[in-house]
Amino acid sequence: MTMVCLTDFEEYAKEHLSKATWDYYASGADECCTRDDNLLAYKRIRLRPRILRDVSASNTRTTVQGTEISFPVGIAPTAFHCLAWHEGEVATARATEALNTCYITSTYSTCSVEEIAAAAPNGYRWFQLYVYRDRKLSEQIVHRVEVLGYKALVLTVDVPYTGKRRNDIRNQFKLKSTDEYGVPANTLDPSISWKDVHWLQSITHLPIIIKGILTKEDAKLAVEHGVQGIIVSNHGGRQLDGGLASIDALPEIVDTVQGRIEVYVDGGIRTGSDVLKALALGAKCVFIGRPAVWGLAYKGEEGVREVLQILSDEFRLSMALSGEFEMSGQVTKNEQRPRKP
């Protein structure tokens, strides 16, 4: 079948994955209001196109943390890729290497960080980190990924406890040696605080990016604590239900940061125009989670490549139709800033 848009991959994955696996990937917390609002929020935003701008040649390249990528869409950290495709994360790593973009490897990958690095030795990778109760365990992981050439640490801060995902409970979803809906029991430290950012800075030279910020107050603290980036994220609506859609939280965080550190966003991106909207609101790059898993379920590495290529093509077309032709750090914010009807 011809896959035309990301929804095609979603429908394929829903049909071909087991119910428990599909529910695990698709689920949000509680009533799934925030998960669904991540999508609806983009649909409420409107672009203001400019015309007669000579868009015969366009450039989608940008940089994140000083490294050039081919277009501003990367892969967000998502767990247990082997549930969707037998090669798991190594297929995802190869796909992102082929498209020359950023892959954030999850702490809860089903392939080791060594296997992922070996599968895509020239790929640009960050590592998503949780802080464990046993700090030595976290420290050992940090040193492993440093040696393997991962280029940044993405500290996820919105999981002091795992959100209540009803379908996972109903399905009794567990993997080997895991509990709490697929997360190893009693490993994450709910006492994590800003002092742990300083601790992390003391044990690594890698840039630290905080994932899970939704307010200007926390964005201000992130800048004050010397991190190198923020991923505006509500964990795909899988943690606190009733919180802000990520794209709705983005503008005040961008305004607070004032360019001092890079700001990214995930959650709800399904089209190239969604990417354009996020960049017009100030994001440097966006990250996709569930769509990457759908691509895996379709054709493994090839499926993830197709998902990324579709977004790249759609983004380039949306830029051109909006009168943009150049990625100068981000889409020209003053001219292209979306409005809400």
Pairing of strands 102-105, 124-129: parallel
- Residue 79 counted as an annotated binding residue: yes
Q: Which two tokens stand for residue 191?
A: 């006492």
- Residue 233 counted as an annotated binding residue: yes
- Residue 235 counted as an annotated binding residue: yes
The verdict on whether 235 is a catalytic residue reads yes
Active-site residue (options: 86, 143, 198, 235): 235
Sign, CA dihedral 79-234-285-66, equals: negative
Query: Measured between alpha carbons, how far is 48 from 155 in angstroms, rounded to an integer?
Result: 35
- Residue 42 counted as an annotated binding residue: no
Closest CA to 145 of 120, 112, 115, 113: 113
Phi-psi region of 190 (alpha: psi -120 to 50; beta: other; left: phi over 0): alpha
- Residue 63 counted as an annotated binding residue: no
- Residue 130 counted as an annotated binding residue: yes
- Residue 61 counted as an annotated binding residue: no
- Residue 269 counted as an annotated binding residue: yes
Question: Are 236 and 258 within 8 A, CB to CB?
Answer: no
- Residue 270 counted as an annotated binding residue: yes
Q: Which residues contact 39 (CB under 8 A, 6 or more apart)?
A: 268, 270
Question: Are 125 and 149 within 8 A, CB to CB?
Answer: yes
- Residue 77 counted as an annotated binding residue: yes
Q: Which two tokens stand for residue 156?
A: 């996820």
- Residue 191 counted as an annotated binding residue: no
- Residue 260 counted as an annotated binding residue: no
- Residue 267 counted as an annotated binding residue: yes
- Residue 266 counted as an annotated binding residue: yes
- Residue 300 counted as an annotated binding residue: no
- Residue 135 counted as an annotated binding residue: no
Please, what is the Cα angle at 250 between 211 and 168, to 5 degrees? 50
Taking only Cα atoms into account, the Rg of the chain, rounded to an integer number of angstroms, comes to 19
Known binding-site residue numbers for glyoxylate: 24, 165, 235, 238
Known binding-site residue numbers for FMN: 77-79, 106, 128, 130, 156, 211, 233, 266-270, 289-290
Catalytic residue IDs? 235
Known binding-site residue numbers: 24, 77-79, 106, 128, 130, 156, 165, 211, 233, 235, 238, 266-270, 289-290
